[in-house]
Structure 1
Amino acid sequence: MTISLRLAASLLLCLVGFTGARAQGVITFQEELHDFGKVPEGTVATHEFKFKNTGNQPLVLGNVQASCGCTTPEWTRTPILPGKMGVVKAMYSSAGRPGVFNKTITVTTNTTAPSTVLTIKGTVLNKEEIRKSLTPAELAAAPRAVVTQPVHNFGRMEAGQQPVARLEVQNTGKQDLVFNGITSGCYCIGFKTPPAPIKPGQKGTLEIIYTQRKLGAMVDEATLTSNDPHGDLKLTLKAEVVKSLNAASLVKESDVSVPFK
């Protein structure tokens, strides 16, 4: 009798251990590949990879890592209970990246499977390619950026300062105008804050920050990319950059420094 009880207890322990080993979360994606197709340059291509916890324990996404800095992932950070859904959002920035792209996102979880690799792909069309692909009606319905003063002169400024130019832009198109990038040869021009979308028929203000440290009369150009298929905006910033505004306000006259007039 004692032997039978011991044998039964051993079998019960084995069964509990076997059941415990099988208790885990399981991540099951609806899809692991998404093809954006043709993407207009200047837009942020976004797709949500939805998944379900098909296991019997809470599922936790420990890390989500994109293969490049051009892709930004967001994901469900709270534990996903069995039978519940979660999402991994992939956002690909197409600004300045015309051509074919193929990027991956590695999802690491608390499951026995080490990781899951998601893939996004597509072809980014430049503004000329986009215009050729649109009908006249589609082009007329697209957003359109119009700037009244593309040249801004800061006048005399001190090296190391970061003055801000406020550029007024009007959207004369029929869709929201979205600015998503700014580039310059000097790498000294950028958005002070991310610009908000401009509604059709409305005006908006872009705050452009200038961080030029070279001395002398400076003329720097920047390109502002957006979802306007007609073309990108060109901006020119000018300034007389001096080492010190205090020193620049004085001139030598008969070996005596006097205020500049």
Structure 2
Amino acid sequence: MKHFASLFIAVLLSLGARAQGVITFEKDMHDFGSVPEGTMATHEFKFKNTGNQPVVIANVQASCGCTTPDWTKTPVMPGKFGIVKAMYSSAGRPGVFNKTVTVTSNATVPSVVLSIKGDVVNKEQAKASMTPAQLAQSPRLVLDRTAHDFGKIESGQQPVAKFTVKNPGKQPLELGMITSACNCVGYKSVPPVIKPGQSATVELLYAQRQTGQMSDVATLSSNDLNGDVKITLKANIVRDLNNSSMVKESSATVPFK
């Protein structure tokens, strides 16, 4: 009887040891090929949980700051799929790149390394090497306007300007980095891909810390080989919006009428 009990416990322990999630990636390396400088090269590595317990990804660590990872945050049940997204910023990084992201989870193999590689090509060089027919297939970035005036705003506020981006080109449009001399313009929201013939809304955050009449130019990059687009953001920034709307009558301070 004791022998049967010991055998039963051993079987349970054996089954428990085999009860674990298994991450199975469709592939562990992606080659972007030629990437126009300024674009955000993005790839989703898809995986399936081929084990018998839920898989939870604890962390995804990139090998450099130029690669931004994202991943499925919820538990991936047995037989279901999840993704690990790798995004490489090519702005100011011409040449060949080869980067990795390390996936840490509770799966049978707790650490998996994924690789991305490609060659960032200067837009002018890429454009010069293409035939007119190839260039005609390029995605296009067209804005509904190239300037926005916030009017009078209070110092410390970070207003948002919405722009409509249309892609009348033949290939999907991928927006890249947005840069400015003031380092005060960034994305609040940006669509990852805009399909040919479609439009999307891009929200820009303006975080100018100086006061006075400001006018800042931001450069929006993309995989449009025809060039980048410049956007001008203007504002009259005051220290205190309430005080700026007051005048003195005799000894009393009253608002404008």
User: Superposed, which structure 2 residues align to 1:210-229 within 5 Å?
Assistant: 210-229=206-225
- Structure 1 counterpart of 2:132: 136
Does residue 115 in structure 1 map to residue 115 in structure 2? no
Structure 1's 198 and 51: CA in aligned 2 closer, same or farther, altered over 3 A?
Answer: closer
**Are residue 46 (structure 1) and residue 51 (structure 2) matched?**
no
Question: What's the counterpart of residue 77 of structure 2?
Answer: 79
Q: Compute the displacement of 1:63 (Å).
A: 1.8
Secondary structure (helix, strand or coil) at the match of 1:139 reads helix
- Superposition pairs for residues 20-59 of structure 1, below 5 Å? 20=15, 23-25=18-20, 26-40=22-36, 41-51=38-48, 53=50, 57-58=52-53
- Partner residue in 2 for 1:162: 158
Matched, 1:179 2:175: yes
2:144, 2:48 → 1: CA distance? 48
Write the letter of the residue equivalent to 2:32.
F
- Within 2, Cα distance between the matches of 1:28 and 1:259? 67
- Aligned-partner SS, 2:70: strand
One-letter code of the match for 1:16?
V
User: What is the rounded CA distance, in whole Å, between the counterparts of 1:245 and 1:203 in structure 2?
Assistant: 36
Shift of 1:140: 0.8
- 2: CA distance between counterparts of 1:31 and 1:197? 22
The SS at the match of 1:16 is helix
Structure 1 stretches lacking a partner, 5+ long? none
Relative to structure 1, is the Cα distance of residues 35 and 141 closer, same or farther in structure 2, using a 3 angstrom cutoff? Answer: closer
Is the 8 Å Cα contact of residues 25 and 45 (structure 2) preserved in structure 1? no
Equivalence for 1:188: 184
Structure 2 residue runs without a partner (length 5+): none
RMSD: 3.9
User: Which residue in 1 is equivalent to 2:87?
Assistant: 92
Q: Deviations over 1:114-166 (max 9, x none)?
A: 42222222233342343245332121122212346423333433223333434
- Aligned-partner residue type, residue 103 of structure 2: T
SS in 1 for 2:214: strand
1:43 and 1:224 mapped to 2: Cα distance? 12
CA distance in 2 between counterparts of 1:62 and 1:45 reads: 20
Work out whether residues 182 and 190 of structure 1, in 8 Å CA contact, stay in contact via their aligned partners in 2.
Answer: yes
Q: Distance in 2 between matches of 1:197 and 1:19?
A: 48
- Distance in 2 of aligned mates of 1:18 and 1:190: 54
Q: Distance in 1 between matches of 2:220 and 2:68?
A: 20
Shift of 1:72: 2.0
**TM-score between both structures, scaled by the size of structure 1:** 0.72
Please, which of 79, 102, 107 is the counterpart of residue 105 of structure 1?
A: 102
Give, in whole Å, the separation in 2 of the partners of 1:30 and 1:203.
32
Are the equivalent residues in 2 in contact too, given 1:102–1:122 (CA < 8 A)? Answer: no
